A and B are shown apart, each in its own frame.
Chain A
Amino acid sequence: MSRPTRIVLIGYGPVGARFVEGLVAPVRAGSIELTVVGAETHTAYNRVLLADYAVGRADRARLDLTDTAAAVEAGVRIRLGESAVAIDRDRQSVRLDSCDTLPYDRLVFATGARANLPSLVGLEAARRDRRSRPGAAAALDRGPEALPHGVVALRDLADADTVLEAVTAGRRIVVLGAGVLGMEIALAASERGASVVAVFHGDIPMGRQLDSGGGRALRRAAHDAGVTMAPHSRAESLQFRHREDGEEHFDALVCADGKLIEGDLLLLSCGVGARTELAEQSGLRATSGILVDEQLRSWDDPDIFAIGDCAHVASRSTALPDGRVPGGPAGLIGPGWRQADWLASRLAAEVSPAEVATLSPGDRPLVVMLKAEGIDVVAGGNVSADPWDESSALETTLWADPARGTYAKMVTRDGVLEGFVAVGLPRAGAELTLLFERGGELPEDRSTLLRLDASDAGAAATADSHAPDATVCWCNGVSVQHILTAAEEGATTVEEVGACTRAGTGCGGCKGRIAELLAQSAAPVATR
C-alpha cells in the first residue's frame, strides 16, 4: 500500500472543524494523514452564535461544534496554540512558530478573517500594521498596542466576555457599524437590558443587503425595539476619560458633525478582513481573500486550497485587465461549510474513488437573515432594481406598510428571483428564501406569498362552516347537506342521523355540530 496522503490544514475555526469531520473516516482508515494547526488555544466554536453568547442568551456549550476528541482518537493530529509562519512550496512543507516543519501533499487554508478596526483618532496604536509579516500569527491580528479600555471588536470568546459584562450590568453600549452583525448585537444587547446606540454612516442599517425601503423598515423596527439609531454619523475620533486607576477608558464617540455619542463600551462592528498574509508571502495571489478556482484550488498552486472566510472563489477568467477580481469571501458560515464538506469529500475521493457532487461553491447566491427575536429581516441577491424602470429585463414587486412594519421587495427575471427583501413577514421571508436558494419560479400572483403572513392565513377555504358542502363528519366524509337531507327525511336525533348518514359514528367529535344542525333545521318548523 502506498503511503497515506498528508494533508495539512491551517486554521481550526468552524469551517476548519467541518473539514476535519469530513476526513475522519479516511484518517481512521489510514489512507489520509491529517494535521491541523490552530492558533487559538481552544477547540473550534461557533462564531455565528457569538452575539448570543455575548448577551448571555447562550452558554459556552451551545457554541460547541465538533468532537475534537473523537477526531484525535481517529488519528487526526491537532496542534492548538501553534501558528504556521512560513510555507515552502517547493519542498511542500509548513514551518510552525515552534520551528517544527510539517510536510504536506495537500495544504488547506482555513485561516478565516479578523475584525477590521476603523481609522479613528484614538485607535491608531491598536490597528495592525499592514506590512507586518507572519512571524507570529497572534501578532498579525493586533497593532502595537491593545485596544483601549472600553473598546471591543466582537470576534472571539474573550471579546464576548467583555460585552457580556457590560450587558449584564445594564451599561450604555455604542455599536459602531450597523451591518448584520452590528444590528444583531445591538438588538440582542438592548433586549437583555443594555442601553444601546447604533452608529452608522448611511441612511439605513444593513446597507449592503437591504434596499432603502427594507432598511428604513428595519431602522424603525430597531428603534421600536429600544435601540437608538444614529444614521448619517461619520465617526472620527474617540474621547477618553481617566478612570480612578489612572487608565484611560472610552467615554464617547466624536462624529464629523461634532456630535458626541457617549457610552461605557464601544463595540466595533466594521466588517472583517481575510487572513491572507501567510498565503501572499508564499507567493499565492490574494485580493480580499486567497484566490481559488471553483474547485477551491489556489490559482497558483494545484496542491493548495482555501475554504471559508479566507477564500475568494473566482474563475481565473473573471480577472479584470487591471488585475482586480470582482467578488470576495462570502463572510457567511453556510458557504464556508459547503466548501469544507465538498473539499473533504474531494480529497477523500483522491485516496478512495467515490462520486463527488459537482458543485461550484462560489456562485451560490447568499441570503442574509437577521438573528433577532421579534424582528424578521431576510434579504438576498440584488435588491437595487427600480420598479418603474421599463428598460430593465427585471421585474420588481413591492409591498410596504410602514405603520405595521412590513415590507417586501421581489426582483425577478423570467419569474425567478434575482433578489428579495422581506421585513416583518416571517412566512413570506422564509418562502422567498427557499425560492431564491432553489431558483424556483414565483407564483404568478406574487401576493400569494404575502398572504402567508395574513391574519386569515390558515383559515378554511370555505370559511362558512354551514355551507352545504362543508364537511361535518371527517371520519365518514359527511357534509352539512347530507345531514340536512337526513333531517328532512325524518331524522330527529344525532343517533338517527348517524344511522342513515354515518355522521358521528367515527371518532364522535362532530356530534355537537350535528345536534346544532338538527336544531337549526327544526327551528323554522317550530316557529311556523
Chain B
Amino acid sequence: MSAAPAAADTHCPYCALQCAMSLTVSPSGPTPVTVAGRAFPTNRGGLCKKGWTSAELLGSAGRVLQPLVRRPDGGFDEASWDAALDLIADRLRDSRARFGADSVGVFGGGGLTNEKAYQLGKFARLALGTSRIDYNGRFCMSSAAAAGNRAFGADRGLPFPVEDLDAATTILLLGSNVAATMPPFIAHLAGARAAGGLIVCDPRRSSTARLTEDGAGIHLQPAPGTDLILLLGLTHIVITEGLADIGYLESRTTGFDAVRRSANVWWPERVQAATGVPVAQLRAVARRLADGRGSYILTGRGVEQHVDGTDTATAAINLALVLGLVGTGRSGYGTLTGQGNGQGGREHGQKCDQLPGYRKITDPSARAHVAGVWGVDAAVIPGPGVPAVELLAELGRAGGVRCLLVHGSNVVVSAPDVSAVRAGLEALDLLVVCDFFLSETALLADVVLPVTQWAEEEGTMTSLEGRVLRRQRALDAPAGVRSELWIMAELARRLDAPSTYSTVPSEVFDELARASAGGIADYSGLSHALLDTGAAAYWPFAAGTRGTPRLFLDGFAFPDRRARLIAVYPRINADAPAQVGGVLTLITGRLLEHYQSGAQTRRVPELINARPEATVQIHPATAARLGIVDGDIASISNARGTVEAMAEVTINIRHDTVFLPFHYAGSQCANLLTEAAVDPVSAMPEFKRTVVTVAALRAVPAVVAGAAAAAAGTGAVIEESEYV
C-alpha cells in the first residue's frame, strides 16, 4: 500500500447525505486529521456536529488495535492475525462440514463501502457457500425499496439530485426528522419554507416539524401507525377535488382505477377519525401539493418502519403518481436513505435475495451473468437466504446458523427485541465481529477483528441521491488494523474458495462494475479513475453513457415504461389494548448528536456529553396523570423488556405517545421493547408502534439512577476496558 497523502477530499463517515469534507493530516493536533467542510451540492460546505467531530474516533483510546480472541474464562486475548484467521477458518470449515454451508451466516451493514458490500456478498456465496447473508439495511430501507421497485421498477432513494428540492414550493416530508438526522439537508428545504410549503408529518413536533412554524408550512401530527390512512385520505381529496393529473395517469401509469376505488372509501371525515388529523388540514395539504408549482413527497423511517411499511410507502408513491409528480423534472417522490452507504449497500449483493447490480438471485440470467464475472458455474451460487429478522431468529437454533460473521453492524442494540437477539448470539458456536471498537455486539464475540476507519481507507459510497462518491484515504491505519477486503481475501484463501478476492478497492470496484452491467443499478461505466475527476455520477451509469441524474424522465423501469399504481389497504388493528393507566405507544428515532446504535458517537466526548443518556419524551398532561415530573426516572416496559430513562416532559409529542432514541445500550436500549414483527413484503421490522406501559420510578433518586445507568454501561463517555 502506498503512503497516505497529507490531505484528502472525502465524505463524512456517517449518514447518507455524505457531506463533502476535506481531511488534513495534523500529526501534532488533537486528532490525527483536521476536518473541514467542503463545497459540494449536498452540503455546501456545511457539516453537523457529528461530521465536525468525526476525526475523534481515529485515535480513540478504546480502539481495537489487534485481533482479540475469547479466552475460556470469558476475557479476550490479543492474537496475531494469522492465529485469529486460522482459528476462524478452521471453525467455519468444521461447521460447514458438520452442519452444512447454511450453518454459517453473514450479517452486513449499510455503512460498508460499495467494494466491501459487494465483496461480502461474493465471499458469502462463494467462499462460505451460504445463502445466509443479510444486513442491517433490512431495518431501514427495505420497505421503501420494495415499494419503489414494485411501483417504478427501480429503487434509487432520491431519483433526482438533492438540489432539485431547492426550487420546490411544496415539500411533504413524512416521518423524517432531517433537522436532527442530516442537518445540512435542511438548507434544501429553504425554498419550500419561504413559500410556506413545508409540510411535516410526525407524531412529534420534532426539530424538523418546528421548521414549519411562523408560516413556513404545516405540521400534521397523526397518531402513530396511521400514516397509510392519512395518505389514502390525501389521495381521496386529490381525486375528489379534481386535482388528479389525469393526462399523466393515462399516459404514464397503470392501475389508477383500483387505487381510485381504494381511496374512495377514505373520505376526509373518516380519515380524521382514524388519524387525529383535522379535515381542514388534510384539504389544505392536498390542495397545496396539487398547485403545480413544484411539489415533492419524501418519506423516511417514521412511516416505513412498520409492519405495513411497504404499503405505506406505496401509498405515498400512489399519491405522487396521482398528482403527476414523478419523473417530471420539477416535482417528484423520494425516500431519504439513512445509513452512509444505505443506497449502495442495498444494490450489490448483501441482501439475501440479491446479486450485484440490484439483480434477483432467483433470476437464471442474473445468476449466469454474475457467475461469468466471478468465473464460476452458476450452480455454485446458493439460492435466496432469509431476511435479517428471520436470520437473527434462527441463530443457534437447530438447523439454523451456528457461526456468524458481523460486519459494520451492532445488532444487539439495533435489531428489534434485542434480548432475543442476544440469546441467539450467545448460543452460537462462533461469533466473529469486525469493528473499530468493542461495540456491544463485539463484546459477545469469540473473535473481534479490528478494521479500518473511513479516513484510513478508500472506496466508494453511493449517497441518498444515487450518486457514487469517492472515499479517499488521508491516513495510514494503525499497524494491527486491517481492511475487510484483506480479511475476506485471507479467509477465502484459507477456505480454498473459488474465484478471486482482490484487496485493492479500485480492482474490486471494476469487478463490481462488470457484475452490475445490465442490472438495474448499473455501474459499468464507472471506475475510481473516472470518479476521481469529480464527475457527478448518478446510476444507472452504463458503459458508454454519462449517468442518470434524473431517473424516470422518459419512462419507468418496466418494459412498457409505465409506473404501477398498486392499491393498498390498511389493516384494522382491532386488538390494540386500551390506553389506560400508563399504556402508551412508543416510537423511536434519532438524536442530532448520535448515529445508529451509538457505537461510534457514544465514544465521541463532545457528543456523549451533550446527550449522555436516553431520555423518554412524554407529554405534560400524560406525565401529570402518571405522576411523572421532568427529570424523574421513568420505566417503559412491556412483555419483552424494561427500559429506564429520564423523563423529558415536553409538549412536543402527542399525549398518547412516548419517544425513545435508539442509540443507547444496556437498560436504556429502546429495542428491548420493540417486537420482531415484520412487513410481509419487505421483512422490515415494526419499530415505530410498540405498546408499552410507562410508570414513574420515584423510589430511585436521580443521583443513584445516574450511577446505576453508568454502571450498566449506558451513561457518560464509554470507558474503554482493558481486555479483561
**Chain A residues in contact with chain B, CB under 8 A?**
46, 48-49, 52, 57-58, 61-67, 334, 337-338, 341, 357-359, 367, 369-371, 374, 376, 378, 414-416, 426-427, 429-431, 433-435, 437-441, 443-445, 448-449, 458-461, 471, 474-477, 502, 505-509
User: Does A461 lie within 8 Å of B651, measured CB to CB?
Assistant: yes
Known A415-B580, A444-B624; contact A475-B239, beta-carbon cutoff 8 A: no
Residues of chain B from 695 to 721 with CB closer than 8 A to chain A in the complex? none
Which residues of chain B are near A509, meaning CB under 8 Å?
A: 186-187, 190
Are B184 and A507 closer than 8 Å at their CB atoms? Answer: yes
Question: Is B240 in contact with A58, judged by CB distance below 8 angstroms?
Answer: yes
**A475/B273 in contact, CB under 8 A:** no
Give B259-318 interface residues, CB cut-off 8 Å to A.
Answer: 260-261, 264-265, 267-270, 272-281
How far, in angstroms, from A429 to B650 measured CA to CA in the complex?
22
Chain B residues, CB < 8 A from A435? 579, 656
Which residues of B655-671 have CB atoms within 8 Å of chain A's CB atoms?
Answer: 655-656
Q: In the complex where A438-B578, A443-B619 touch, is A61 in contact with B260 (Cβ < 8 A)? A: yes
Q: Give the contact stretch, choosing among B22-30, B42-50, B503-511, B549-557.
A: B42-50
B202 beta carbon closer than 8 Å to chain A: no
CB distance from B322 to the nearest CB of A (A): 13
Partner of A430, one of B52, B205, B276, B624: B276
Q: Is the CB of B656 within 8 A of A474?
A: no
**Which residues of B have CB within 8 Å of A431?**
276, 655
Asked if A334 meets B270 with Cβ closer than 8 Å, knowing A443-B621, A474-B207, A477-B610, the reply is yes
**In the assembly, what is the distance between CA of A498 and CA of B39, in Å?**
16
Contact (Cβ within 8 A) A460 B213 = yes
- Write 7 A-B pairs (CB below 8 A) sorted by A numbering: A46-B265, A49-B264, A66-B261, A338-B574, A441-B580, A460-B210, A477-B610
Contacting pair A459 B213 (CB below 8 A): yes
Question: Do the beta carbons of B656 and A64 come within 8 Å of each other?
Answer: no
**Smallest distance from the beta carbon of B671 to chain A beta carbons, Å?**
25
State A505–B48 Cα separation when bound (angstroms): 7
Q: Which of A52, A426, A434, A435 has the most CB of B within 10 A?
A: A434
A378 to B205, CA, bound (A): 25
Q: A374–B558 Cα gap in the complex (Å)?
A: 44
Asked whether, in the complex, the Cβ of A369 is within 8 Å of the Cβ of B44, the reply is: no
Q: Are A475 and B267 in contact (CB under 8 A)?
A: no
Q: Are B624 and A443 in touch, CB under 8 angstroms?
A: yes
Partner of A506, one of B183, B257, B261, B275: B183
Q: Are A359 and B621 in contact (CB under 8 A)?
A: no
Pairwise interchain contact B621-A434, C-beta atoms closer than 8 A: no
**Closest CB of chain A to B583's CB: distance in Å?**
8
Cβ-neighbour of B578 out of A370, A440, A445, A471 (below 8 A): A440
Q: Give chain B nearest CB distance to A373 CB in angstroms.
A: 8
Report yes or no: A371 in contact with B264, Cβ–Cβ below 8 A: no
CB pair A474 B179 closer than 8 Å: yes
Question: Could you tell me the distance between the alpha carbons of A460 and B210 in the complex, rounded to whole angstroms?
Answer: 8
A-contact bits for B232-265, CB 8 A (1 contact / 0 none): 0000000110000000000000000110110011
Q: Could you tell me the distance between the alpha carbons of A398 and B223 in the complex, rounded to whole angstroms?
A: 25
B652 cross-chain contacts in A, Cβ below 8 A: 461
CB atoms of A430 and B578 under 8 A apart: no
CB distance from A207 to the nearest CB of B (A): 20
Docked complex Cα distance between A376 and B572 (Å): 25
- Given the contacts A371-B269, A430-B278, A508-B187, A439 and B578 also touching, CB distance less than 8 Å: yes
Q: Is there contact, CB below 8 Å, between A357 and B278?
A: no
A46 with B580, Cβ < 8 A, contacts A458-B219, A474-B179 known: no
Q: Roughly how many angstroms separate A470 CA and B623 CA in the complex, as a whole number?
A: 23
Digit string of B108-132 for contact with A (CB within 8 Å is 1, else 0)?
Answer: 0000000000000000000000000
CB-based nearest A residue for B582: A441
| Interface check B639, CB cutoff 8 A | no
Which residue of chain A has the shortest Cβ distance to B186 in the bound complex? A507
Q: A66-B261, A426-B280, A444-B625 are in contact. Are A433 and B273 (CB under 8 A)?
A: yes
When the two chains form their complex, are residues B269 and A474 in contact, meaning their CB atoms are under 8 A apart? no
Q: Which 4 A-B pairs have the closest CB atoms?
A: A443-B621, A475-B183, A439-B578, A426-B278
CB contacts (< 8 Å) of B655 on chain A: these are 431, 443, 448-449
Contacts of A429 in B (CB 8 A): 272, 278
The distance in angstroms between the C-alpha atoms of A437 and B620, with both chains bound, is 23
Q: Give chain B nearest CB distance to A358 CB in angstroms.
A: 8
Q: How far is the CA of A426 from the CA of B271 in the complex (A)?
A: 13
In the bound complex, how far is the Cα of B270 from the Cα of A337, in angstroms?
Answer: 13
* Chain A: minimal CB distance from B303 (Å): 18
Contact residues in A for B620 (Cβ distance below 8 Å): 445, 448
Residue in A52, A433, A445, A476 whose beta carbon sits within 8 Å of that of B52 in the complex: A476
Query: Within 8 Å CB of B186, what residues of A?
Result: 474-475, 507, 509
In the complex, what residue of chain A is closest to B179 when comparing beta carbons?
Answer: A474
A434 to B267, CA, bound (A): 17
Knowing A367-B273, A434-B656, A441-B579, the reply to whether A505 touches B621 (Cβ < 8 A) is no
B458 proximal to A (CB < 8 A):
no
Distance of A61 Cα from B576 Cα, bound (Å): 34
Chain A residues, CB < 8 A from B593: 477
Q: Is the CB of B265 within 8 A of A430?
A: no
Assess the A475–B276 pair: CB atoms within 8 A. Answer: no
A416, B624: Cβ atoms closer than 8 Å:
no
Q: Which of B48, B260, B574 contacts A359 (CB 8 A)?
A: B574
In the complex, which residue of chain B has the Cβ closest to the Cβ of A426? B278
Any A CB within 8 A of the CB of B592: yes
Bound-state Cα–Cα, A369 to B45, Å: 52
In whole Å, how far is A202's beta carbon from the nearest beta carbon of chain B?
Answer: 24
Which residues of chain A come closer than 8 Å to B650, judged between CB atoms?
Answer: 461
Within the complex, the shortest CB–CB distance from B532 to chain A, in Å, comes to 27
- Asked whether A437 lies within 8 Å of B572 as measured between CB atoms, the reply is no
Shortest CB-to-CB span from A516 to chain B, Å, is 15
Residues of B within 8 A of A433 (CB): 272-273, 276
Using Cβ atoms and an 8 Å threshold, which residues of chain B touch A65?
Answer: 261, 264-265
* Contact A49 to B267, CB < 8 A, known contacts A62-B240, A509-B187: yes
- Residues of chain A with a CB closer than 8 A to B261's CB: 64-67
Q: Is the CB of B264 within 8 A of A62?
A: yes
Residues of A within 8 A of B462 (CB): none
Are the CB atoms of B48 and A475 closer together than 8 Å? Answer: yes
Q: How far, in whole Å, are A105 and B396 apart by their CA atoms in the complex?
A: 49
How distant is the Cα of A371 from the Cα of B49 in the complex, in angstroms?
48
Contact check, B621 vs A445: say whether CB atoms are below 8 A apart. Answer: yes
B14 touches A (CB below 8 Å): no
Residues of B with C-beta under 8 A to A371: 267-269
Q: Report if B622 contacts A (CB, 8 A).
A: yes
A357 to B592, CA, bound (A): 41
Per-residue CB proximity of B486-526 to A under 8 Å, as 1/0?
00000000000000000000000000000000000000000
Q: Are A505 and B52 in contact (CB under 8 A)?
A: yes
Q: Is B575's CB within 8 Å of the partner chain A?
A: yes
Contact digits for B611-624, partner A, Cβ 8 Å, 1 yes 0 no: 00000000111101
Contact B260 A64 (CB under 8 A): yes
